[in-house]
């Protein structure tokens, strides 16, 4: 494989000196880009786009063609895993993801397959290999998966949920069944992420979008514990380079101390946590990624620049920070506003690195 030409992202995660703060954007390949919408239309559906390695590669590269970003992220979805476990994923416009089958009983659990990542999920590994080739060492490629808890919410509810009625009913009423489900998802996710790394992913991120809906005690038991198992099972090195891991629990700011003990290289933060506080609380144990409010991108460029400055200032000087939004970019953001964000990070962040 070719030499990595831009390793700022990996260096920042390792707390090694960088010339400026590295930057990528959650959901950087997505509907705010007209070229994404065109490729998606050509593919037919979102899942057809994910299943086609050439097209998945094309959309992965689109944000990098427009902006000087420091990492690429595999174009796929966290719900490919429960789909491969046999639940039948589909998307309804305006309603988000749905499953044909749910997991609410012992019998449902027994039906679940443990997918072979190079078989049922082979299309993801093909995308990883195709993207690595196309990147040709320009920036590192991030692989990812959902946290077992977050994946379980979709499997039990059958789609997106506001109150998590079914999974919380299971959590309080039959915790043992939920633990067996989480364990199955954890085993599938470990195999999936290991395969992504073997196929060429140079860092991995675990998205725990719904961990913040748990009580502090249940967060430890039903979410963090399983993410810890995933991190512990992953290879720490591939191709002679460290493979960093990032854990992101949306609304997880109150649990940073215990998250920092989970063994990952970095933690992703949303905008409800102050970076300076976070840094004080976790010390040098983990690097931090985030955390501009994605809605700041609705504002004009001058205001975006001010907000970028505030994020940089709150982390302060030194390595250990990866600039990102605090959650995925919204679909109605003007791509020109993203240019303003990228320019601001490029121009303002060198002052924080000597
Ligand atoms: O960051 C990236 O650019 C990589 C691609 C990526 C997608 N989804 C592409 C996508 C990643 C990392 C995800 C993760 C994901 N998917 C999460 C965790 C992160 C988060 O945002 O909290 C979750 C909860 C999902 C499940 C999911 N997939 C939802 C809720 C939706 C949105 C449905 C909708 O209609 O708004 C998706 C679909 C999806 N995944 C899209 C993209 C670009 C939009 C689909 C489209 O093109 O129609």
pLDDT tens digits along 243-261: 999 999 999 999 999 999 9
For each of the chain's 354 residues, which pLDDT tens digit applies? 568 999 999 999 999 999 999 999 999 999 999 999 999 999 999 999 999 999 999 999 999 999 999 999 999 999 999 999 999 999 988 889 999 999 999 999 999 999 999 999 999 999 999 999 999 999 999 999 999 999 999 999 999 999 999 999 999 999 999 999 999 999 999 999 999 999 999 999 999 999 999 999 999 999 999 999 999 999 999 999 999 999 999 999 999 999 999 999 999 999 999 999 999 999 999 999 999 999 999 999 999 999 999 999 999 999 999 999 999 999 999 999 999 999 999 999 999 998
Ligand 1 centroid–CA 140 distance in Å is: 20
Distance 27 CA to ligand 1 centre (A): 7
Q: ∠191-195-198 over CA atoms, to 5°?
A: 140
**Catalytic residue, candidates 32, 36, 154, 219:** 154
Whose CA is closest to 251, among 215, 205, 283? 215
DSSP one-letter code for 100: S
Report the atom number in ligand 1 closest to the C-alpha of 40: 47
Structure tokens at 134: 């196309």
- Please give the Cα distance from 316 to 117 (Å, whole number): 41
Centre of ligand 1 to C-alpha 77, Å, is 6
Whether residue 68 lies in the annotated active site: no
d(CA 74, CA 125): 10
CATH code for 8-352? 3.20.20.210
List ligand 1's pocket residues with C-beta within 6 A: 26-31, 40, 46, 73, 75, 77-79, 96-97, 144, 146, 160, 207, 209, 328
One of 31, 37, 66, 180 is an active-site residue; which one? 31
Alpha carbon of 288 to ligand 1 centroid (Å): 22
Ligand 1 centroid distance, CA of 169 (Å): 26
Catalytic annotation on 162?
no
Please say if 77 is a catalytic residue.
yes
Q: By alpha-carbon position, which residue is closest to atom 20 of ligand 1?
A: 209
- In the chain, where the domains are located: 8-352
Segment 259-280, tens digit of pLDDT = 999 999 999 999 999 999 999 9
Catalytic residue among 7, 70, 77, 270: 77
3-state helix, strand, coil in the chain (%, to 5): 50, 15, 35
Task: Determine the Cα angle at 62 with ends 299 and 190, to 5°.
Answer: 100
* pLDDT score at 94: 84
Task: Return the best residue to mutate from 78, 164, 227, 270 for the ligand 1 pocket (most ligand atoms within 8 A of CB).
Answer: 78
User: Is residue 31 among the annotated active site residues?
Assistant: yes
């Amino acid at each position: 494989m070719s030499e990595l030409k831009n390793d700022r992202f990996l260096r920042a995660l390792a707390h090694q000196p960088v010339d400026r703060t590295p930057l990528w954007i959650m959901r950087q390949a997505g509907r705010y880009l007209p070229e994404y919408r065109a490729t998606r239309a050509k593919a037919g559906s979102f899942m057809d786009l994910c299943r086609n390695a050439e097209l998945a590669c094309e959309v992965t590269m689109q944000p990098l063609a427009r902006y000087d970003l420091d990492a690429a992220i595999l174009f796929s979805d966290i719900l490919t895993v429960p789909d491969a476990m046999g639940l039948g994923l589909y998307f309804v416009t305006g309603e988000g993801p749905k499953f044909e089958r749910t997991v609410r009983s012992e019998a449902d659990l027994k039906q679940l397959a443990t997918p072979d990542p190079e078989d049922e999920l082979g299309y993801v590994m093909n995308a990883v290999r195709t993207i690595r080739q196309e990147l040709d060492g320009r920036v590192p490629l991030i692989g990812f998966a959902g946290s077992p808890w977050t994946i379980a919410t979709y499997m039990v509810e059958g789609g997106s949920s506001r109150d998590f009625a079914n999974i919380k009913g299971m959590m309080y009423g039959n915790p043992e069944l939920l633990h067996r489900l989480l364990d199955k998802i954890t085993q599938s996710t470990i195999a999936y992420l290991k395969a992504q790394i073997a196929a060429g992913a140079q860092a991995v991120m675990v998205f725990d979008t719904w961990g913040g809906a748990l009580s502090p005690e249940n967060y430890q038991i039903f979410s963090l514990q399983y993410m810890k198992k995933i991190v512990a099972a992953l290879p720490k090195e591939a191709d002679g380079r460290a493979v960093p891991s990032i854990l992101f629990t949306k609304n997880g700011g109150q649990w940073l101390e215990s998250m920092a003990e989970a063994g990952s290289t970095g933690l992703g933060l949303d905008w409800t946590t102050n970076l300076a506080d976070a840094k004080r609380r976790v010390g040098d144990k983990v690097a931090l990624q985030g955390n501009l409010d994605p809605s700041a991108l609705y504002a004009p460029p001058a205001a975006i620049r001010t907000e970028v400055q505030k994020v940089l200032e709150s982390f302060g000087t030194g390595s250990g920070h990866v600039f990102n939004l605090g959650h995925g970019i919204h679909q109605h953001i003007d791509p020109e506003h993203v240019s303003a964000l990228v320019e601001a990070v490029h121009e303002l962040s060198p002052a924080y690195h000597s």
